[in-house]
Amino acid sequence: MALLTLSSPHAHGRNSTSKVMMTVTLATLPGLAVMTWLFGFGTLINTVLAALVAVATEAAILKLRNRPVSFFVKDNTALLTGVLLGLALPPLAPWWITVVATMFAIIFAKQLYGGIGNNPFNPAMVGYALVLVSFPVQMTTNWAASSQMGLDGAALSLASFGDALSTIFAGGAADAFTGATPLDAYKHQIASKTAAEVLAEPVFNGWLNGGWEWVNLAFLAGGLFLIWKRIITWHIPASMLGALAVCSLVLGWDEDLYTPVSLHLLSGATMLGAFFIATDPVSASTTKLGRLIYGAGIGIFLYLIRTWGAYPDAVAFAVLLMNFAAPFIDAYTQPRTYGHKKAARGLKKPEAK
Amino acid sequence: MAKSLQDISLDGLWNNNPALVQLLGLCPLLAVTGSVVNALGLGMATMMVLIGSNFSVSLIRNHVPDAVRLPAFVMIIASFVTVAELVMQAFTYELYEVLGIFIPLIVTNCAILGRADAFACKNPILPSVVDGFMMAMGFTVVLVLLGAMREILGQGVLFSDMQLLFGPMAANWKIELFSNYPDFLFAILPPGAFVAMGLLIAVKNVIDKRIKDAAEARKEPVEASAPKRVRVTGN
């Protein structure tokens, strides 16, 4: 019989990896519901597709690696990776984008590094960055504007379900529904218009952020639930959102020149990133001080890339950049252990042989 | 300890392949292998330089003092790179334009200086030339493999633009593997080269392991030993 080696901490039943991951997955449901309400069934279809592909890929690779398949699949990490990817991808992204992103995330970002617990980078964001870099056209033009779909409930009819299916799987013409996201629109139009003129654009729909504020508030609610359940701590989201707000207020206070802070906090993938993606227990920092630095780094990168970078949103790049730094941050922020006067910090020199 | 020509060849092509084992010359390897024609062009230029430099270094090996050998080698390599550059400019001008800075940069390809210092300056002319040819061959094969992988994944075609190297008759060598293929930029950009390179190295290691296992299995005759008693009780 195969004995499974489990390292400490040997927590008792209540918080198994499987249960934690399932709770996180369930906490995304409010956000998923709001996105489906706003953008139609595309988000839902892509999320389900990504989740199925993720689990199937994980099982296939585990089989190839001669690992116990059902034990690792049941920990739900692949499921969560798939769900997060599905939420991050544009609602009407063609099916092969979802499949490529998910398979790359599971195979290259997770299993090639040794599977659960060994991946230095957030798998979902590696998959997302891959397709964002590879297929810029399909990734930026398949955002349905909420003013064109949804809101009046038309997005939830059976006919629109069929439309979304045919757009995703048969590559049907989606031109009538596609548009830029509010973040993208504001960034590019503010160069020639005033804030009031930009906000009157149809993409903003007369609302604060063209519906995106509801998406973000829903993810915020899911995130607060996770903090209440003590699955994540407050450090990373708080420092990330704080750094983003401070950057926006200090560097971009003039909303006739820069994207305003309300749009930064309540548009794009800000809340999804802060509560669900940056807090990945494997690739994030693990000490308290480290988490504050790590979160703040993501917030700063997020602002810099959104404002001066080539991409309208930057959660994936910001998270991946800070993933690089996480082991280093951890090494320098170790807490003092009981019985020692000083904390053992810094990188240890390799022993001379 | 002179090695046989056969060993030298095997070293260059497989056991000590400059790209897969020594991991030398990664800069051009990763930068220009976006298509087969680029890879082949750079591989052939590298081959010309490597054979020429190995030959010349071997010629002067008894006359150059150790202290100044590296400047001398670099001078020889730089001359051959200039020759290669001019030849490409004369005969394959478009390819020369496409490869751009990476042709002069052959001079910094550590595989070339490495072979000059590690092999050619210690061996007679014939083994040196064979070594140069085989090392360059191993390098080129890897370049072309990478180019093919990235061309297929990136653009869904194979052997596009071969007329740049082989003249007008090669214009229709292009094979469209998939129709309506969306360009997969990741494979065309350098990160894709790193991933493809890693996969190639992994494949080589797997093959090496298989060969080693097979050799060991042949060496040790299977012993028909009585099944040993294994203690199963005691819990």
> Which tens digit of pLDDT belongs to each residue from A261-305?
888 888 888 999 999 999 998 999 999 999 999 999 999 999 999
- Taking 60 as the threshold, does the pLDDT of residue A235 lie above it? yes
Closest CA to A172 of A183, A163, A180, A181: A163
Same domain, A122 and A229: no
Report pLDDT digits (tens) over A124-134: 999 999 998 88
Instruction: Name the one residue in this structure whose structure tokens are 């609302």.
Output: A207
Of A179, A200, A232, the residue at which a domain comes to its end is: A179
> pLDDT exceeding 70 applies to what percent of chain A?
84
Label residue A59 by pLDDT band (50, 70, 90): very high
Decide if B184 touches A, using CB distance below 8 A: yes
- Taking 90 as the threshold, does the pLDDT of residue A28 lie above it? yes
Same domain, A129 and A56: yes
Label residue A99 by pLDDT band (50, 70, 90): very high
CA separation (Å) from A254 to A124, B180, B195?
34, 45, 43
Label residue B103 by pLDDT band (50, 70, 90): confident
Site from B153, B181, B185 to mutate, A interface, most A CB atoms within 10 angstroms: B185
Answer yes or no: is A271 within a domain. yes
| Pair of tokens at residue A130 | 């891959």
Residues 118-147 of chain B with CB under 8 A from chain A are none
Same domain, A80 and A124: yes
Taking CA–CA distances from B185, the nearest residue in chain A reads: A134
Which of A12-16, A327-331, B150-154, B228-232: highest mean pLDDT?
A327-331
Query: Chain A partners of B183 at a C-beta cutoff of 8 Å?
Result: 134-135
Q: Which domain holds residue A22?
A: 17-144+146-179
| Mean pLDDT over each residue of chain B, to the nearest integer | 83
Cβ contact (<8 Å) for B184 and A134? yes
ipTM above 0.90, yes or no: no
Residues B47-63 as b/e (b if ≥16 CB within 10 A, e otherwise) read bbbbbbbbbbbbeebee
Answer yes or no: is A2 within a domain. no
Label residue A152 by pLDDT band (50, 70, 90): very low
Answer yes or no: is A345 within a domain. no
Same domain, A117 and A187: no
Torsion of CA B161, B163, B166, B167, to 10 degrees: -170
Alpha-carbon distance of B32 to B27, in angstroms, equals: 9
Same domain, A173 and A190: no
Answer yes or no: is A346 within a domain. no
Cis peptide bond N-terminal to A9, omega within 30: yes
Label residue A69 by pLDDT band (50, 70, 90): confident
Report pLDDT digits (tens) over B15-50: 888 888 888 878 777 888 888 888 888 888 999 999
What's the total number of domains in chain A? 2
Decide if A133 touches B, using CB distance below 8 A: yes
Same domain, A126 and A249: no
- Taking 60 as the threshold, does the pLDDT of residue A234 lie above it? yes
Same domain, A233 and A285: yes
Answer yes or no: is A221 within a domain. yes
Cβ contact (<8 Å) for B189 and A133? yes
Supply the pLDDT for residue A238: 95
Cβ contact (<8 Å) for B185 and A108? no
Least confident among A146-150, A310-314, A321-325, B44-48: A146-150
The one-letter amino acid at B81: V
Same domain, A164 and A191: no
Same domain, A155 and A109: yes
Label residue B227 by pLDDT band (50, 70, 90): low
Answer yes or no: is A8 within a domain. no
Taking CA–CA distances from A134, the nearest residue in chain B reads: B185
Label residue A149 by pLDDT band (50, 70, 90): very low
Same domain, A108 and A215: no
Alpha-carbon distance of A72 to A115, in angstroms, equals: 9
Answer yes or no: is A94 within a domain. yes
Taking CA–CA distances from B191, the nearest residue in chain A reads: A130
Cβ contact (<8 Å) for B186 and A138? no
Does the pTM exceed 0.90?
no
Same domain, A164 and A195: no
Same domain, A151 and A193: no
Answer yes or no: is A348 within a domain. no
**Closest CA–CA distance from residue A91 to any residue of chain B (Å):** 19
Supply the pLDDT for residue B178: 75
Taking CA–CA distances from A171, the nearest residue in chain B reads: B180
